[in-house]
Amino acid sequence: MENSKQQVVTNTITRELKDIAAPTGNVYESTMIIAKRANQIAAEIKQELSHKLEEFSNYADTLEETFENREQIEISRYYERLPKPTLTAIKEFEEGKIYYRKAEE
């Protein structure tokens, strides 16, 4: 996933609805697939960031004892610069990298 984070365009792009709807035949189904994948990506990033920041957590009793750590700030800035999970999910969907299936009734 690390590699895909860097290859995603971070600015807004106009997309054709017919292109988004093409894989599923329905724009709403495609949108839901993208949204669910974006939620998965966001959860993965949050877990990864929390794990990295755990190393810096100190269990101080008061706010005065809390200090800023330069490495912690750099890690946070790195994650702030990553493309939004929605953009990553859209790119994966357009490239056919998302596996999805329809629940049978």
- Domain locations in the chain as residue ranges: 26-94
The pLDDT of residue 18 is above 70 = yes
**Residue 83 Cα distances to 18, 46, 77, angstroms:** 24, 13, 12
CA–CA separation, 55 vs 96, rounded Å? Answer: 36
Longest dimension (CA), the chain: 58
pLDDT band (50, 70, 90) for residue 101: confident
With 0.85 as the threshold, say if the pTM is over it.
Answer: no
The pLDDT of residue 80 is above 50 = yes
Backbone phi and psi for residue 51, each to the nearest 5 degrees, phi listed first: -65, -45
pLDDT band (50, 70, 90) for residue 90: very high
Structure tokens at 40: 């998965």
- The per-residue pLDDT for 105 is 60
Alpha-carbon Rg for the chain, nearest whole angstrom, is 18
- The per-residue pLDDT for 3 is 47
100-105 long-range contacts, CB within 8 A, separation 24+: 100/24, 100/33, 102/29
- pLDDT tens sequence across 26-78: 999 999 999 999 999 999 999 999 888 887 766 654 554 455 677 888 888 89
3-state helix, strand, coil in the chain (%, to 5): 60, 0, 40
- The per-residue pLDDT for 67 is 58
> Collapsing DSSP states into helix, strand and coil, what is residue 25?
coil
- The per-residue pLDDT for 89 is 95
Owner of token pair 């894989």: 23
